[in-house]
A = this chain, B = another copy of it.
């Protein structure tokens, strides 16, 4: 979804009615230079605090899932309870900082391409994703006595 422009037209092209809720959500998500990661709660806060708008939580869920289905958002697997979404929809891997709960994108050349040798009969690979968990160096120090 292109930056900084006519979301009304874009939404129509996707077969979604350009309601004011959806346009607001588009502005929050796509009107920026860089892609980013967010939770539904992050997004609701952004909309209510920064944009000073009230959209029902259920509507935010609806819209985010609609955008995901259309391929404009990706859902990212992290343990924990949090479900992250990603405005970077290209195939890419992630670092997850366990201290700060922050997701960081990997570049093309941060990780060599994955070689999957096994294949499951009758099944096709639909994605291969790596999650690298990182934590502060002094985290897992064991005691010596």
Contacts and interface: CB of A to CB of B under 8 A. Distances in A.
Given A112-B115, A114-B112, A115-B112, A133 B126 contact: yes
A130 interface: yes
A122 B107 contact: no
Contacts of A128: 130-133
Given A95-B120, A115-B112, A116-B111, A129 B127 contact: no
A133 B122 contact: no
A131 B132 contact: no
Contacts of A123: 97, 99, 134-137
A69 interface: no
A112 B107 contact: no
